[in-house]
């Protein structure tokens, strides 16, 4: 099993969710987040004063998939989240050793 964590633009969330459903991924957890990478934020003017906005709104997705669905999930996220500009986001993949469904103690991929 693989855990995929993706940090994307908030405007891409609905498209990414739809692409993941089409790819056969059913379970997903979504967090609202703030942060910055290379773009380091930007400045805005409000009532004549300049303010630095260094933590930009992002969305973090977490999903655990079988090894067979890993590449499909990653391709689905990339295909709709990519704009080609700084700030598109990142994807992190890590190995999951165990998954347990609390309701009935199912273990492994069947618990997904």
Q: What is the pLDDT of residue 92?
A: 98
* Cβ atoms 57, 34 nearer than 8 A: yes
Q: How far apart are the first and last CA of the chain?
A: 9
Mean pLDDT, consecutive 10-residue stretches, the chain (112 aa), reads 97 97 94 82 73 83 96 97 92 97 94 90
CA nearest to 65, candidates 91, 94, 86: 94
Considering the entire predicted model, what is its pTM? 0.84
Q: What is the pLDDT of residue 42?
A: 63
Set out the domains of the chain in order of their start, with CATH numbers: 2-111 (3.30.70.120)
Q: What is residue 39's predicted lDDT score, i.e. its pLDDT?
A: 67
């Amino acid at each position: 099993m693989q855990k995929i964590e993706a940090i994307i633009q908030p405007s891409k969330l609905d498209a990414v969710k739809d692409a993941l459903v089409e790819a056969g991924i059913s379970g997903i957890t979504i967090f609202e987040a703030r942060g910055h990478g290379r773009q380091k934020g930007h400045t805005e003017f409000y009532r004549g004063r300049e303010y630095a906005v260094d933590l930009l709104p992002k969305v973090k997705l977490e999903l655990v998939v079988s090894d067979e669905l890993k590449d499909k999930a990653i391709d689905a996220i990339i295909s709709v989240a990519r704009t080609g500009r700084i700030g598109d986001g990142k994807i992190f993949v890590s190995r999951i050793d165990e998954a347990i469904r609390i309701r009935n103690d199912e273990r492994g991929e069947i618990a997904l």
